[in-house]
Structure 1
Amino acid sequence: MRMRRIISGTGLLLAAALAISVIIVANAAFTSLRLDLTSGGLYTLSEGSRNILKKLEEPIALDFYFSRKALADYPQIMNYATRVRDLLEEYAARSGGQLDLTIIEPEPFSEQEDQAVASGLQGISLTGNPGDNAYFGLVASNSTDDKDTIAFFQVNREAALEYDITKLIYNLANPEKRRVGVITSLPMFGGMPPQGGKPWTIVSLLREFFAVENLGPSPERIDPDLSVLVVVHPKEMNPGARYALDQYLLHGGKAILFVDTLAEGDSSQPDPENPNVMPDLDSDLNWLLAGWGIEVPEGKVAGDMNSAMRVQAQGERGPMETYYLPWLQLTGAALSKDDFVTSQLDLVHMGTSGVIDRRADSPMAISPLIQTSDQSMRIERDLILFQRDPQVMLRNFKPDNKTQILAARLKGKVKTAFPDGPATEGDDKAAEQVKEAEVNAILVADTDILNDLFWVRTQSYYGMEVPQAIANNADFVVNAIDNLSGSTDLISLRSRSASARPFEVVEKIRREAESQFREQEQALQAKLEETEKKILELQKEGGEGGAILNAEQTRAIDSFRDQQVKTRKELRAVQHELQKNIERLGSLLKFINIGLVPLFIALLALGAGLYRTRRTA
């Protein structure tokens, strides 16, 4: 029996040694294996990101700068930095060796800090001393020394973290400047007098980011190698141009389509033979959209009471400020927070915008980017064209009690608008025609979103005219082009949930206790007001008996102070109980996460050992 116990004890020691050996070997051999148990898959890359990493042909260096010591007293940043680091390690692990991740902690006045500054990282001063900057950013470079940075990882942009990193990697893997073609009937690129010679501000701005090409109003050939095609207010496109646009999209070309039911930037003049007839100010793209099951109803303009701009108008008693329903300043819930094109925008201005409808049989999936509130309606275009009286529109306003889509992302498999082949006789491209394919586009039911009138104010600066943006209209366009000009994998990425997820039970306890605290606080305030009222009444009764009344007043004040002390004690007791409940729950959660699970595993192992010991005995 004694020998068996010795053998049993030796066996347990050997088992423990074996377990430790397995852990050491596993730690060395399986460092690339990662298990993400978060409910939102916070540390798991999306399929789009993984596909982009698989296609990397040249190495990219990722230098993650983080001032750990300087930011140690900022728990929110520290927690977020851990998430960023872990996600970057996941990128490196999934890249097949093409991403070289280096984690750098720059010390003040060090060479590493100089490199961070030279690379364009943003340092934040925590003490007010310029020499004590802290860094939390990423510098990426490719084999040809192209660089891109995330100057500082903003905590409020956590939902877009994967998108920002993947886009940075994609841009370095594809460093050539992206080509953007523009089809427009509007004078966006300027023109000869009297129409005016200056390009619209949006064109000048786009040229800073992209290689912009003016294709004219009706091109019969569209280069399939364009990164993105921007179509603005298409009118009277000839059959060859329509066919070219149809096939560009069906061959996989990305496009942003700006259409309008009343384009205020359209300078078309009335027909001299019919000067009393208004020229057509609406776009003509229904020949394409109808086949997609998408419609921008003719003659309808969106009006929104909650988003209407205030304008100067002529009232019955002279000039006045009022709301103009067709001109919209869209903020908050009007801008989708689930799409990277609009998620970081604060304000977009639109004017006499149309609305976007999707038929029930449409093959297109539609994702709203910009929409009105439910306090909106569809205004008849003629009411705007021939009257433009804000007061009349306000009096006739009857909300539809539903939102109206003003801009949307469209994706789906559609058929050609030319089932019988090229529209132009003798076209030699019949053999190349695509009859059906998936289309990926963004549709905007407004062209005035691009017009300087709605988003730019010009200021004079030392004799120069400097345009100043008053809304995020240009950001919307740049974001849309930037997003579509990436690969399909990049476009597929969506916002992710935040890593900071409060415990619901803790929050419930906090809310209940704070509610109780507020109720007692309000009761105290009511008693205070009642006492002050009594004091005022006593003062009004003043006169010869003022001394007696002052004594009564003193007793009332003393009584109130006693009650005040008592109530404050009760408030402190509520706060103390609140903290106790939260700490008690926190201790329980820590025990479950840190102690209970390992204890459970240890008990299982102990039970298995005892069972084997008894069997051998």
Structure 2
Amino acid sequence: MWFKKNIVSIAIALVAVIAINMLSNFVFTRFDMTQDKRYTLSKASKSTIENIDDLITIDVYLAGNLPAEFQRLQIETKQLLEEFTALNSNIVVNYVDPKTLTDDIDQLIGQMSQFGMVPAKVDIRENGKTSQEIVFPWAEIIYNKKGKVVPLLKNNLLTQSTVERVNNSVQHLEYAFANAFKTVIENNAKNIAYLIGNGQLESKYAFDFLNTLSKNYRVTSFTLDSVQIQPNKTLDQLKKFDLAIVAKPTEAFSDSEKYVVDQYIMNGGKSLWLVDKTTAEMDSLFLQQKTLGMPRDLNLKDMFFQYGFRINPVLVKDMYASDIMLNDGKQFNRYPWFYNPLVIPGKHHEIINNINPVKFEFTTNIDLLKQGINIKKTPLLHSSQLTATVGLPKLISLNEISQTVNKEFASKFNKKPQVLAALLEGKFTSTFKNRIKPFKLKKHIDEGNDAKIIVAADGDLVKNQLNKGEPLALGFDKYTGQTYGNKEFLENAVNYLLDDTGLLKVRNKEVKIPQLDVERIASEKRKWQIINMVIPLILLAVFGFVYNYIRKKKYT
């Protein structure tokens, strides 16, 4: 009877359900209900992959039975990749547990390390015992026979716990994958000129940085020596490059060379300047126990002043500094070396967001001037609150390490934070405006097009160490075993200068992952076991007593 009365309503409901299911095959959408919108891809990420018309494969090696902290990273990686695959069906994701491929773990570690996928060793504490687990937090993207390795776990010099490392890594995931997509997809790589001829850093000391850039860009050494013979041709050739890098010049620029660089910037050329204003060197310090810091004149002062900044001939000392290794007669020990500031990047710009502390060596400081009203000036890296400046010339000795660090000593570090690296953006004015030109150009420009300059007051930022003559990774200190953020900072600087899509802004995305407190779990384990086992029984007993009491009272 009821069925006959409601047959029309039931039929309408069935038709509605069928219609919704059929419509869902043609209309597809996803909803991100997280507070920080961690699964909502940025416009830059979308524009990178939405036009891929060929198969692109992603092999994720963070698979299998993982420690709890890495299960979170695995889940976040999987959910992010689902967003990419939902946007483009040509993206195929495979999850591979490397440990199932072989029983020889040492052989596996060696093979994976050859491809740059060094495993992470994780300490696991369970029931008062500590064991070590090997995890491979890596992914590999393959497209048209081009491959790119993607690190899923981001190392941080200041981070102590695995939980914190995982949190930082989750925040970095979207940029890591989007940047890797861009690398394997783009065919029209931009051109970078590595300027030589003014005593710049030898190629073996800049090898790792230039080698890293060559994977994404076309990097070519470019000399300004020909400016004396063919100045116009030299400028025309330089203008073909999208970025010019000047790494630790030690010889002064002639006015002709300076004019070529100036007009390159006036034509919208981007430039990265890593400039030492002092002659002090760590190599001399270790060999002779002392080094002499003298002002270095590169004949660039007027050009930098016109662009809106000045590099001062003073050494910056910082209480927060990197360590050096010294032998005290019995063994090697680590000592803080105040002439090597260790800069903790902030989060106010995508170039420095979420990177390791950056190591400086005998750095000077930078003044950002009021000159250049059309220029936006952004300090990127600066020293800590405990800073001092030392005038040049200055004889620097390793004996300074023996100085007692007390309140009187610390009171000398009373300068405000000193700018050590900065970004300048806008329309620059030519250094040679209203001046006699070194030579006649076909077209001189006084007021330039939009350009970008990043300047750092230390040429050693780009210098990698050598081991038996072989270059090591930039930022790695073979003496202390620490890896600093120099390489990541310089890579981000180049990416920002050349990035037309705004992909680097993805680094500013804030992701907050709630995590369990492992130490608290261990210390309060027994309490919560009792609560979960005893309290339900007590509640059940109370309910039974009350129920029987009410029942007896009602029916007696």
Which range, TM-score by smaller chain? 0.5 to 0.7
Confirm or deny that 1:90 pairs with 2:94: no
1:100 to 91, 104, 107: 91
**Post-superposition CA distance 1:58-103 (Å, at most 9, x none):** 53503243675x23x64543443333233223334445x6x43234
Is residue 183–residue 214 contact of structure 1 (8 Å, CA) maintained in 2?
yes
CA shift, 1:158, in A, is 1.8
Confirm or deny that 1:442 pairs with 2:439: no
Between 384-393 and 438-447, report the one with greater CA deviation.
Answer: 384-393
Q: Which structure's residues are more often helix, by fraction?
A: 1
Aligned partner of 1:166: which letter?
A
**DSSP-derived class of the 1:350 partner:** coil
2:260 to 241, 244, 248: 244
1:176 and 1:443 map into 2 onto residues whose CA distance is 27
Residue of structure 2 equivalent to 1:409: 423
Residue of structure 2 equivalent to 1:63: 58
Residue of structure 2 equivalent to 1:29: 26
The 5-angstrom pairing of residues 75-224 of structure 1 reads: 75-95=68-88, 99-104=90-95, 137-143=138-144, 145-150=145-150, 152=152, 155=166, 156-175=168-187, 179-184=191-196, 187-188=199-200, 199-203=203-207, 206-207=210-211, 209-210=213-214, 212-216=219-223, 220-221=234-235, 223-224=238-239
Confirm or deny that 1:381 pairs with 2:388: no
1:496 and 1:16 map into 2 onto residues whose CA distance is 44
Structure with more contact order per residue of length (Cα contacts < 8 Å, sep ≥ 6): 2
Confirm or deny that 1:39 pairs with 2:35: yes
Structure 1 residues 252 and 6: alpha-carbon distance in aligned structure 2, compared to 1, 3 A threshold: farther
Residue of structure 1 equivalent to 2:510: 497
Aligned partner of 1:248: which letter?
Y
1:67 and 1:299 map into 2 onto residues whose CA distance is 49
Structure 1 residues 373 and 204: alpha-carbon distance in aligned structure 2, compared to 1, 3 A threshold: closer
CA shift, 1:374, in A, is 0.1
Structure 1 residues 182 and 311: alpha-carbon distance in aligned structure 2, compared to 1, 3 A threshold: same
CA shift, 1:304, in A, is 1.2
2:182 and 2:208 map into 1 onto residues whose CA distance is 25
Number of residue pairs the alignment of both structures matches: 467
Structure 1 residues 181 and 126: alpha-carbon distance in aligned structure 2, compared to 1, 3 A threshold: closer
**Post-superposition CA distance 1:109-133 (Å, at most 9, x none):** 579xx9x9798767789999xxx99
**DSSP-derived class of the 2:193 partner:** strand
Aligned partner of 2:195: which letter?
I
Structure 1 residues 127 and 486: alpha-carbon distance in aligned structure 2, compared to 1, 3 A threshold: same
Between 81-90 and 416-425, report the one with greater CA deviation.
Answer: 416-425
1:216 and 1:107 map into 2 onto residues whose CA distance is 47
Is residue 353–residue 508 contact of structure 2 (8 Å, CA) maintained in 1?
no
Gaps of 5+ in 1: 191-198, 268-277, 314-319, 519-570, 585-617
2:413 and 2:295 map into 1 onto residues whose CA distance is 28
2:278 and 2:81 map into 1 onto residues whose CA distance is 48
Residue of structure 2 equivalent to 1:228: 243
- For the pair shown, the structure with the greater C-alpha radius of gyration is 1
Structure 1 residues 577 and 410: alpha-carbon distance in aligned structure 2, compared to 1, 3 A threshold: farther
The 5-angstrom pairing of residues 417-436 of structure 1 reads: 417-419=431-433, 423-430=437-444, 433=445, 435-436=447-448
Aligned partner of 2:14: which letter?
A
2:73 and 2:334 map into 1 onto residues whose CA distance is 47
1:237 and 1:48 map into 2 onto residues whose CA distance is 39
2:75 and 2:456 map into 1 onto residues whose CA distance is 39
Aligned partner of 2:391: which letter?
E
Confirm or deny that 1:456 pairs with 2:447: no
Is residue 302–residue 379 contact of structure 1 (8 Å, CA) maintained in 2?
yes
Structure 1 residues 246 and 158: alpha-carbon distance in aligned structure 2, compared to 1, 3 A threshold: farther
Structure 1 residues 257 and 482: alpha-carbon distance in aligned structure 2, compared to 1, 3 A threshold: closer
Aligned partner of 2:205: which letter?
T
**DSSP-derived class of the 1:168 partner:** helix
Is residue 140–residue 150 contact of structure 2 (8 Å, CA) maintained in 1?
yes
Aligned partner of 2:389: which letter?
R
How big is the alpha-carbon RMSD for the aligned residues of Structure 1 and Structure 2? 5.1
**Post-superposition CA distance 1:320-376 (Å, at most 9, x none):** 998654x11415x35769645674435514214223435497544444443211011
1:124 and 1:311 map into 2 onto residues whose CA distance is 26
Is residue 347–residue 353 contact of structure 2 (8 Å, CA) maintained in 1?
yes
Q: Which structure's residues are more often strand, by fraction?
A: 2
Is residue 301–residue 355 contact of structure 1 (8 Å, CA) maintained in 2?
no
TM-score, with length taken from structure 2: 0.66
Q: Percent identity?
A: 14
**Post-superposition CA distance 1:408-431 (Å, at most 9, x none):** 33334444445569935531134x
Aligned partner of 1:158: which letter?
V
Residue of structure 2 equivalent to 1:262: 278
Gaps of 5+ in 2: 103-107, 125-132, 155-165, 228-233, 284-292, 328-332, 478-482, 537-556
**Post-superposition CA distance 1:539-583 (Å, at most 9, x none):** xxxxxxxxxxxxxxxxxxxxxxxxxxxxxxxx999x459978xx9
1:134 and 1:386 map into 2 onto residues whose CA distance is 45
Structure 1 residues 74 and 12: alpha-carbon distance in aligned structure 2, compared to 1, 3 A threshold: farther
Structure 1 residues 491 and 416: alpha-carbon distance in aligned structure 2, compared to 1, 3 A threshold: farther
1:370 to 377, 381, 387: 381
